[in-house]
Structure 1
Amino acid sequence: MILDLHHVQLAMPKGGEDKARGFYRDILGLPEREKPLDMQQNGGCWFEYCGVRVHLGVEQDFRPAQKAHPAFSVRGFGQLRRQCETAGFATRQSNNIDGQARFFVDDPFGNRVEIIDGENPI
């Protein structure tokens, strides 16, 4: 029986750690968590905040996830959208779902990420 979602794993190309930090840590606000020592040689980054865990792992034959994606419910929806756009990450408006506004943005590697307004149901 499933108890919880432990983490989401996304792929990234080799050497993309600084770009991952710039997006997931600096824009989305997920603090980086140090990877276990025995996994650090594999590259990649882990981010975690209040039970939300995102792991980015290096994939040799990297292709971005353009349909599959994580969806984050956020506080400060409009501000986060402006931050993404100011940092050069184009956002795409989407239809509201379950009464909540949302948009899509691609991470620095082209992986699709959904952002949902967690504060203001429509």
Structure 2
Amino acid sequence: MFVMLAALDHVQLAAPAGSEDVLRSFYLAALQMTEIPKPAGLTRRGGCWFAAADGGRLEIHVGIEDGFRPPRKAHPAVRVTGLDALAARLEQHGAPVVWGVSLPTHRRFYTQDPVGNRLEFLEPLT
């Protein structure tokens, strides 16, 4: 049987217990995502799920992890349009914006969510 990997469905990040409200503030206001309901069997575990507000095919699930420590290097990379506007909006919400070395085909920066998860945003060069 032939198997083909088709698409990335979602990215799972971790967070400490009780951080859902601060995460909602960041993902809903700063990144302008929408919260999507978790399936009934998973709600008791805490955490929250988000999707691109524009109907894009991007989901970020944040789950609660005992002994959470944010990863120093691992991160999802999200391709965007309007990279400079996103950087400005993140800075307005108090999130750090650290520009990375441009790739041959993209400009990019890194930020952190309120619990320290590293996120990369990049935009193709025109």
Q: State how far apart, in whole Å, the 1-side matches of 2:81 and 2:113 are.
A: 19
Structure 1 partner of 2:68: 62
1:108 positional shift: 0.4
2:19 matched residue in structure 1: 16
2:98 is the alignment partner of 1:95: no
Q: Name 1:110's counterpart in structure 2.
A: 116
- For residue 72 of structure 1, give the secondary structure of its aligned residue in structure 2: strand
User: Which structure 1 segments of 5+ residues have no match?
Assistant: none
Q: Highest Rg: 1 or 2?
A: 2
TM normalised by structure 2 equals 0.89
TM-score norm. by structure 1 comes to 0.92
**Rounded Cα–Cα distance in structure 2 between residues aligned with 1:9 and 1:72:** 13
Distance 1:110 1:54 in 2: 15
Deviant stretches of 4+, over 3 Å: none
Count of aligned pairs: 120
Letter in 2 for 1:48: A
Q: What residue number does 2:48 align with?
A: 45
Q: Superposed, which structure 2 residues align to 1:63-82 within 5 Å?
A: 63-82=69-88
Q: Percent identity?
A: 38
Distance 2:47 2:79 in 1: 24
* Distance in 2 separating the partners of 1:25 and 1:63: 23
Q: RMSD over aligned Cα, in angstroms?
A: 1.2
Gaps of 5+ in 2: none
